[in-house]
Structure 1
Amino acid sequence: MSGNNYKSICFVAMPYGKKTDLATGTEIDFDKIYELAIKPAIEEEGLEPLRGDEELTGGIIHTTMFARLLLSEYVVADLTLSNPNVFYELGIRHAVKPFTTVPIYAKIHPLPFDVDMVRAIGYNLKTNVLSKGAVLSKEAAENLKSELMKRIQQAINGPQANDSPLFELIPKFPAIKLPYEVTYSFRERVSHDKEFHERLDRAKLKPSNQERCMALLEIQEDLVDLKGIQASILLDLMLSFRSVEAWNEMTDLCEAFPDYLKNNIFVRQQWAFSLNRRNKPGDRDKAVSLLTEVMKEYGPDPETLGILGRIHKDRYREAKEKGSIIALAALDESISTYVEGFNSDPRDYYPGINAITLLIEKGDKEALKKAEQLAPLVSFAVARRGGVSSNNYWDLATVLELNCISSDWVSAVNVLPKVLDKAKESWMLKSTLDNLTILKQARICQGHNIEKLQEIIKEFEKCRCDL
């Protein structure tokens, strides 16, 4: 396996074959322009060129075209003919990606006013007066290739610079946020993608997390230069490190990502997640900074605030173990962050269940009353996701936690086997185990019988060792 098999895609939106410019009557061979300048520029920068399909009818873009415009790491768009398809594609791209789009055009007439502000590369064509045909000379091809390579280099190596007029002119223009799960199922699969995932799967079957991590590092080394690798490949590798609790390697990988990927909201959330778990000096401050920037750009959401709440929760636990006076402040900060996360979208139960657990941990009259108020809302949220009938680990784990909170041991014992069966990664079990342990300590302080809860905790500990 070589990193050359997983090059980042540079999608090219342009006319095909010989087309006539209606304004000048000039016939242009766009296939020659692609072969002489565009394709070699992209390839020499270590990317994989991909032209658009010709399956376009009635101005409607084929589904795969949307996938390419949304998910391709880079795009080159030739605006020469003011072709409606190309302009439509450029409009979609500019609405979803602030950078990594490079417009080009033949200087046979100015660009239309609507796109005159974009930073486009102009190229010269040599016109035959008799035939009214226009060709790209050898010198012009080299110039276009050189300019394209410079712009692609800038996009790959950063620092990132907005090339979408929407993101440039409108402060805080809201980009479309595609969840990783959507991109995973929606993106176009390449021929080597299956081989890569099979290798990831084999690495994760090693006997221990240390061996799994070493196997994943070998895969990363084979990718060589990460800046020219498909985003989907890099994201899958990042999540594989997460699955084996390789926090140092996951963090280092995120830091090595190209700028366009570092700016991705999902990457920033996971980067902060791994920084908090690694917890070297300065890691948590950096994690908080990453999440704060995400909220400044996109507003509060359950995932971002859930990770931020976890950071404050870990700070609380460490301060409590040391007997530090700041423990209560960290606990209050974690509770308020989780509550804010749940309130930002009450359909997402994750921050809500964590808020309830910590409110019970705090244990005063006001906190317990708030926990009692939140419990039915969180129960409703997880029930909407299928509750005990779900096949998702987090849905089931939340049902279990709610049962333990309400001391419904019959329901807890019934759902426990399904929870453990759906746990595929040890860090997932640890997250639930942490909450159950917090609940156990709180119940001890409040004089409750913890026998049933302790039995459930032991099953989690046993299952985690097996993974």
Structure 2
Amino acid sequence: MAKSQKICFVIMGFGKKTDHSTGKTLDLDKTYKNIIQPAVESAGYQCIRADEIQDAGLIDKSMYALLMQAELVVADISTFNPNAIYELGVRHAVKPYSTIVIKEEEGKIPFDLDHTRIFHYKHLGEDIGADESQRCQKELEEKIKIVTNSPLVDSPLYDFIKDINPPELPAAEYKKIIGDLAEKETHIFAIVEKAKDHMLEDEFVEAAKLWRKAAEMVPSEDYFLQQLALSIYKSKEPSEDTALTDALRVIEKLAPDGDSNDPETLGLTGAIYKRMWLSNSDIECLKRAIKYYEKGFQIRKDFYTGENYALCLDMMSKVEEDGNEKTYYLIAAKKARQQIIETLAYVKDAVDDGKCNIEFKWAFATLSNCYYGLGEVENGKKFEKLFLSLVEAKWEEATFQESKKKVIELTRS
């Protein structure tokens, strides 16, 4: 299942800047490319720097929108770039938490920030050493995950002055700003946001056009091709069979001859073949769906591919004529569901602790269908309710209900 990425907005200077307190010149682009961007993306965020959205007349609007809306902000205050300091102040004023301040280890810290916890790194000036880059990537990624999983107030304003509410950016205004940027057709971030917006509205033909544009702009980004394939087969245009064939051509660019170790790519390929099987009853399509889902499940115990692997095994058991093979498929499906439930024990523990996080949305859907498949109806209903409470788009609920119906049909007959 394709996952929508959270946004990290990066505040910092660009290019080579001099720290006047030390006289040292730093190439801040090296900091971004060697430390910040890889750490942020490894932690699961889409990393956006101001120069990636810069456009006359729009930079101020988009900057303020991102400072308010981004789930995470990383602010590099090295060299005390005035724009970066100002933007950090805005972020602290509008968001109580999820802001990480980083700085090159030398040089003074402004008085107003000397009480703030700051992540330090060592810059050589023209570049950053490989060992230092690796250390910082790992430690910054860990810090991001801590901030993500247990957000604490890190804004001095909200720390010192209690019981004040942060301002809210109306969703319609944010969409309008992003739409304005997407109209320029030059900003990858805005194009991606617009594509996601179309998907939330079940407008898959429009979404596919934007994902295609994003993939053409950044051919090395697998995520864009994955989303393009998903949008194409969801569109069912000009017909469902044609859409599935077109989607398969796209995803095969990432997995020629099935050679991929990415669970997302394997899961999407399996989904396309599964839908082909449901459309044309070609047993070879079902066998290929099982192959791709099984591989995705084995590589990283990915629960989405595992759930669909079990479902396809149930389907195979219904068409298999050999009694022993039929029994094998049924047992394998049961074991896969039990293994998924064990793998998602941390999600169940979080629910027991009263947590219902949006990050668990598809895990809830998977747990529900696994329990239904094992005949544990009450647990199935419990996690179905949790999933439905977090649904953001019509297609998400439709996909779940389709899987639920098929699971119950196959495991109760």
TM-score (ref. length: structure 2): 0.57
Indicate the residue corresponding to 1:362 in structure 2. 316
Q: Is the 8 A contact 1:9 1:47 kept in 2?
A: no
What is the DSSP-based 3-state SS (H/G/I as helix, E as strand, rest coil) of the residue aligned with 2:14? strand
Q: Is the 8 A contact 1:305 1:341 kept in 2?
A: yes
Of the candidates 389, 403, 406, which is equivalent to residue 435 of structure 1?
Answer: 403
| CA offsets 1:198-232 (integer angstroms, 9 cap, x no match) | 2267x7xxxxxxxxxxxx8x9636642121x2x44
Amino acid at match of 1:58: E
Structure with bigger gyration radius: 1
Distance 1:430 1:43, change over 3 A: closer
What is the DSSP-based 3-state SS (H/G/I as helix, E as strand, rest coil) of the residue aligned with 1:16? strand
Q: Distance in 1 between matches of 2:189 and 2:120?
A: 17
Structure 1 residue 306: Cα displacement: 1.1
Structure 1 residue 406: Cα displacement: 1.3
Indicate the residue corresponding to 2:337 in structure 1. 375
- The yes-or-no answer on 1:311 pairing with 2:272 is yes
Indicate the residue corresponding to 1:459 in structure 2. none
Distance 1:9 1:275, change over 3 A: farther
Structure 1 residue 442: Cα displacement: 2.3
Q: How does 1:38-187 map to 2 (within 5 A)?
A: 53-55=78-80, 56-58=103-105, 84-88=124-128
What is the DSSP-based 3-state SS (H/G/I as helix, E as strand, rest coil) of the residue aligned with 2:202? coil
Of the candidates 347, 361, 367, which is equivalent to residue 393 of structure 1?
Answer: 361
Percentage of identical aligned residues: 15
Indicate the residue corresponding to 2:346 in structure 1. 384
Q: Which runs of 5+ in 1 are unaligned?
A: 1-7, 23-27, 31-41, 67-82, 94-177, 187-193, 204-215, 321-325, 447-467
Structure 1 stretch displaced more, 9-18 or 398-407: 9-18
Of the candidates 171, 175, 178, which is equivalent to residue 198 of structure 1?
Answer: 171
Distance 1:310 1:298, change over 3 A: closer
Q: Is the 8 A contact 1:339 1:352 kept in 2?
A: yes
Distance 1:258 1:351, change over 3 A: closer
- The yes-or-no answer on 1:302 pairing with 2:257 is no
- The yes-or-no answer on 1:333 pairing with 2:306 is no
Of the candidates 226, 238, 242, which is equivalent to residue 199 of structure 2?
Answer: 242
Indicate the residue corresponding to 1:291 in structure 2. 251
Q: Is the 8 A contact 1:397 1:432 kept in 2?
A: yes
Structure 1 residue 263: Cα displacement: 3.1
Structure 1 residue 48: Cα displacement: 6.4
Q: Is the 8 A contact 2:198 2:207 kept in 1?
A: yes
Of the candidates 253, 259, 282, which is equivalent to residue 210 of structure 2?
Answer: 253
Amino acid at match of 1:409: V
Q: Aligned pairs, how many? A: 290
- The yes-or-no answer on 1:420 pairing with 2:370 is no
Q: Is the 8 A contact 2:266 2:296 kept in 1?
A: yes
Q: Is the 8 A contact 2:369 2:407 kept in 1?
A: no
Q: Which runs of 5+ in 2 are unaligned?
A: 1-9, 28-52, 64-75, 81-102, 108-116, 134-140, 150-166, 318-325
Q: Distance in 1 between matches of 2:148 and 2:125?
A: 26
Distance 1:58 1:393, change over 3 A: closer
Indicate the residue corresponding to 1:344 in structure 2. 299
Aligned-residue CA RMSD in angstroms?
A: 4.7
Q: Distance in 2 between matches of 1:197 and 1:255?
A: 29
Structure 1 stretch displaced more, 233-242 or 10-19: 10-19
Structure 1 residue 275: Cα displacement: 1.3
Q: Distance in 2 between matches of 1:44 and 1:388?
A: 43
Q: Distance in 1 between matches of 2:350 and 2:18?
A: 54
Structure 1 residue 21: Cα displacement: 11
What is the DSSP-based 3-state SS (H/G/I as helix, E as strand, rest coil) of the residue aligned with 2:126? helix
Structure 1 residue 19: Cα displacement: 12
Q: Distance in 1 between matches of 2:251 and 2:397?
A: 24
Structure 1 residue 350: Cα displacement: 0.8
Q: How does 1:25-40 map to 2 (within 5 A)?
A: none
| CA offsets 1:394-421 (integer angstroms, 9 cap, x no match) | 1222221122111112323344433322
